[in-house]
Amino acid sequence: MPTPIAGRGEDGADLAIQTSGLTKRFGAQTAVDAVDLAVPRGAVFGFLGPNGSGKTTTIRMLLGLLRASAGEARVLGAPMPQSLDGVLPRVGALVEGPAFSPFLTGEQNLRRFDAADRHSPARTRDARVATALDRVGLGHAAKKKAHAYSLGMKQRLGLANALLMPRDLLVLDEPTNGLDPQGTREVRALIRSFAADGTTVFVSSHLLAEVEQLCTHVGVMSGGRLVAQGTLDEFRRAGARPRVQVRTPDIDVARAVLAALGIEPDTRDAASDLDLATGTLTDGTAPEAVVAALVADGVRVRGFEVVGESLEQRFVELTGEGFDVVA
């Protein structure tokens, strides 16, 4: 069963996205199977899952691009797709990669998209387009034709399009796709700034390290079902207990101390790392007590670390797949 979100109200008032039994079938195939999703307002929510797990189909239903076969969805407190006209102007989206007219400039493409939005005021269009381009680092390329943009630049242009109007919710499908490390850091900083301003950000990604650095909450899809969700800390705590790692030349004594504390030493690394003692930290054993016991027994501690379970480890446990998958 999915892990519940802490602080979830019964009426969903504190949720930016809420689904109940959301299901999508294509003929005999069930692509999304009874998903109960809860995304708190103001969160940066990482939506993870291997290829074919139903992430993009779920997003398309949330945005009214697909009609659900069963179940309900609420976005910003309103039922979807019944409330499309009222909700979509408050939502910025970058889904399945941006598509632009190749022989228009980046600026012209944004002006074109903005003009197609009947909620967008024409008198502020120039200023808003310029601000959006600057915010994603494309101000210098505003007059450059889109066909000359790199993949990363096109991705930034799609993000700029999502920012043309003030948004309560941003839905971003692989927002760092094609970006170099510097561009990735810039987009990460942008997303954090959106959240700091009170915008809820829903990020679909297969880059677990990126999600781990960026997100406050996580949901994992596998085989069309939501197999877990919660805060990042809740997600990690649901898995294995943390492990201690002691680096010392007194390896045998260190292992004996760990065993005396009820920490079963792990000898898997003994052959490859002769000065590292590891073990699973037991409930109620404080890390500082472990260090004190090691020092008291004359162990020369060169390094000590408590290692929690990584997001990748939990992902593999839940889905049975590695992290190098596409959305």
293 within 8 A of 261, measured Cβ to Cβ: yes
Beta strand segments in 81-136, E: 91-94
**Do 257 and 188 share a structural domain?**
no
175: left (phi > 0), else alpha (psi -120 to 50), else beta?
A: alpha
Q: Classify residue 182 as exposed, middle or buried by CB count within 10 Å of its CB (0-12, 13-18, 19+).
A: exposed
Identify whether residues 146 and 264 lie together within a single domain.
no
Quick one: 263 and 129 in the same domain? no
pLDDT digits (tens, 9 = 90+) for 140-195: 999 999 999 988 888 889 889 998 998 999 999 888 877 778 778 888 888 888 88
Q: What is the pLDDT of residue 224?
A: 93
pTM above threshold 0.85: no
In a domain, 318, yes or no: no
CATH assignment of the domain containing 284: 3.30.70
* Portion of the chain with pLDDT greater than 90, in percent: 46
Q: Are residues 287 and 214 in the same domain?
A: no
* Full residue range of the structural domain in which residue 303 is found: 243-308
For residue 315, tell me if it sits in a domain: no
Whether 4 maps to a domain, the answer reads no
Is 131's pLDDT higher than 90? yes
* Domain count across the chain: 2
Name the residue with higher pLDDT: 49 or 114. 114
Looking at the fold, whether 252 and 108 belong to one and the same domain comes out as no
Burial status of residue 173 (CB atoms within 10 A of its CB: 0-12, 13-18, 19 or more): buried
50 part of a folded domain:
yes
Residue 77 has pLDDT above 70, yes or no: yes
Does residue 204 share a domain with residue 148?
Answer: yes
Residue 317 lies in a domain: no
Q: Count the Cβ atoms, other than its own, within 10 Å of residue 183.
A: 18
| Residue 279 domain flag | yes
Whether 62 and 205 share a structural domain: yes
Same domain for 278 and 223? Answer: no
Domain containing residue 23: CATH number: 3.40.50.300
pLDDT digits (tens, 9 = 90+) for 1-22: 444 433 344 455 699 999 999 9
Angle of helix 181-196 versus helix 151-162 axis, rounded to 10? 10
Residue 316 belongs to a domain:
no
For residues 36 and 182, membership in a common domain is answered with yes
- Measuring CA to CA, which residue among 114, 132, 135 is closest to residue 123? 114
